[in-house]
Amino acid sequence: MKRIMNRIGVARIGLVAALFGIALTVSGCGYNTIPTLEEQAKARWADVQNQYQRRADLIPNLVETVKGFASQEKSVLTAVVEARAKATQVKVDASQLTDPDKLKAFQDAQNQLSGALGRLLAVSENYPDLKSNANFLALQSQLEGTENRIAVARRDYIDAVRVYNTALRTFPTLIWAKTLFAGNKPMAVFTASEGSDKPPQVKF
């Protein structure tokens, strides 16, 4: 009886050792790489959205401040408000990052807002009192900081997607991509328009 118990104990130890060995082998050959990189890319996308939302939150105060000094610029003010509304309506959650059309719609809406905002800031050059207003100067600083954060967030997302997509196509993670993670698709690249790798110059 004692021998039988000893054998059972040895068998259990052997089983635990085998499972541990399998776990090490699996982790060492890239099984965890794909889900890890996927979550990192999703986190970077959340950063992109947060920074664009931060910009959107600044715009109402900017519009109201400009309106106080340049109410006659109605068409420019209206264009910013409408572009902001459209940009905040276009949402792309983590589950849609593999859809290039969704990502393009998001980017197009943000680009339209950037263009409208640029025209508003250009108009402000014609109003010296506006340019020296304390609230306007504070918004300038916040907007510059936000544009920098957007540029960094976009760059980090593009890098994370590149690493994730590469893992789906290269050995040894390709093995897992074709088997246990066969449902994983490459993520759409948040393509940067020419010159958008640098934050825009926000001048007042």
Could you list the pLDDT tens digit for every one of the 204 residues in the chain?
Answer: 555 555 555 555 655 444 444 444 444 567 899 999 999 999 999 999 999 999 999 999 999 999 999 999 999 999 999 999 999 999 999 999 999 999 999 999 999 999 999 999 999 989 999 989 999 999 989 999 999 999 999 999 999 999 999 999 999 999 999 999 999 999 998 765 554 445 444 443
Return the amino acid letter for 200. P
Q: Which two tokens stand for residue 167?
A: 């893992």
List the domain range (segments joined by +) for residue 26: 1-30
Ramachandran class of 92: left when φ > 0, alpha when ψ lies in -120 to 50, beta otherwise: beta
d(CA 173, CA 187) in angstroms, rounded, equals 16
In a domain, 189, yes or no: no
In a domain, 186, yes or no: no
d(CA 124, CA 146) in angstroms, rounded, equals 19
For the whole model, what pTM was predicted? 0.80
Mark whether 173 and 74 lie in a shared domain: yes
Residue 160: name the closest of 48, 52, 28 by CA: 48
Mark whether 108 and 74 lie in a shared domain: yes
